Structure 1
Amino acid sequence: MNHLNSMEPGPRPVTPPGPDVSRRSGRAHKAILAATRELVAEVGYQRLTIEGIASAAGVGKQTIYRWWRSKAAILFDAVLDANSQEDGSVELPNTGDVEADLRLVLRESVAAMVDPDNDRLQRAITAEIQTDLAVAGELVRRLLRPQLDATQARIAAGIRDGQVDGSVDPGMVAELLFGPVFHRWLLRTGDLDDAFADGVLDLVLTGIRPR
């Protein structure tokens, strides 16, 4: 008998798992967005470069170009990431009191716009969308429109509850609420605070309460 052939096979060597590419890509993606925000705050958008982002994030330029076509596109995703709206979902509170809910939303919007960490980032993307129509379209679709639609839905619920007059256009009311806030932030025409947000809401409510 051939004893070599009759021997039971030994345990196979365990192959160590390879690197988790998806996890590594996720870390690199987050690092690039974080580096973009930090550099915009430090040097401004005009001096922001792909090379600088790559160096700060610890990745190669080709990694960045694999995901984004321009620094404007990176900036846009950095804004979305900062606002925790990557999936575009927005949900407004519904406590049953439309005035209280809209007041909370407006105040939170004001706080986000004047936050020093966000202000320069938001101004950079606002300037960029004046010439980059592709980024402008994405900004509306993924950031502004979800907020307006959610506000419109809350106002429509207020109509159903008898707290808002049935003749009003919920979409127009949503624009009336956020328009003055954005105008004051963009042009720096005065203080942007809770008092201003409350004043805007009170004026709008005067026009939309049931007659």
Structure 2
Amino acid sequence: MSAQRNEQARQAIIAAAFRLCASTGFASTTIEAIASEAGVGKTTIYRWWPSKAAILIEGLESARDSSAAFPDTGDITADLLTQTTNVMALFATDFGLVWRGLIASAQSDQIAAEGVPRILRTSIDQCVARLAKAQGAGQLRADLDLELAVELIYGPIYHTWLLRTRPVPPDFMHTVLTTLMPALTAPTNEA
């Protein structure tokens, strides 16, 4: 990617790619359509990104960073509920449509296959850091595998959202966390 990108054109290209992917799907989104929608030439896009997946990955990273940050109130259950609820709300937007398309395309598109785990790794690392802090404060079991805990917490979101197995009620993550947290929390000392 060129260091001399025009920021206004960059934003227009990312926004156009998001609009098109959200409305027509990943497979139907083309560089030609993105260029037309953004009011730039295809050569401008190809000078900055190797593919539509690369454009969408850059946009997803930026949108995720501003929408799915991890709170730290000192109460791990409340923080997980806030963060997972925010993730589910983000998945209900155009972000979710683009993310779903990229996850599907990662099965056959090399750039998506490299970008999806990178996006996930950032989110996983943030969650692990918050869980480690709660573990250090005695809120979570000392022997808890934090990477496994992340999978247990977010697995239900991805399962229901990606596979569309059932409607997801507004209190979905409250129910998930109420069920899961006893297995993750440190036992209380009873006399």
TM-score between both structures, scaled by the size of structure 1: 0.80
What's 2:75 paired with? 97
Where do 4+ consecutive residues of structure 1 move more than 4 Å? none
What is the deviation of 1:39? 1.3
What's 1:129 paired with? 106
Give the count of matched residue pairs: 184
Q: State the distance in 1 between where 2:109 and 2:25 align.
A: 18
Q: State the distance in 1 between where 2:37 and 2:19 align.
A: 9
Give the partner amino acid of 2:71: P
Is residue 2:149 matched to residue 1:173? yes
Structure 1 stretch displaced more, 201-210 or 176-185 = 201-210
What are the Cα deviations for residues 97-132 of structure 1, in whole angstroms up to 9, with x where unaligned? 1111111111111111122x2232122111111112
Three-state SS of the structure 2 residue aligned to 1:194 is coil
Q: Which runs of no fewer than 5 residues in structure 2 stay unpaired?
A: none
What are the Cα deviations for residues 50-73 of structure 1, in whole angstroms up to 9, with x where unaligned? 111111111111100001111222
What's 2:97 paired with? 120
Structure 1 vs Structure 2: percent identity of aligned residues?
A: 38
Equivalent of 2:61 in 65, 80, 88:
80
Give the partner amino acid of 1:114: A
Rg larger for? 1
Three-state SS of the structure 1 residue aligned to 2:6 is helix
Aligned-pair Cα RMSD in Å? 1.9
Would you say the 8 A contact 2:21–2:97 is kept in 1? yes
Three-state SS of the structure 1 residue aligned to 2:143 is coil
Structure 1 stretch displaced more, 101-110 or 132-141 = 132-141
What is the deviation of 1:206? 1.3
What's 1:47 paired with? 28
What's 2:138 paired with? 162
What's 1:13 paired with? none
Is residue 2:94 matched to residue 1:140? no
Q: Which runs of no fewer than 5 residues in structure 1 stay unpaired?
A: 1-20
What's 1:16 paired with? none
Q: State the distance in 1 between where 2:142 and 2:61 align.
A: 34
What's 1:71 paired with? 52
What's 1:18 paired with? none
TM-score between both structures, scaled by the size of structure 2: 0.88
Would you say the 8 A contact 2:22–2:98 is kept in 1? yes
Would you say the 8 A contact 2:69–2:83 is kept in 1? no
Give the partner amino acid of 2:160: R
| CA shift in 2, pair 1:80/1:193, >3 Å | farther
Three-state SS of the structure 2 residue aligned to 1:83 is helix
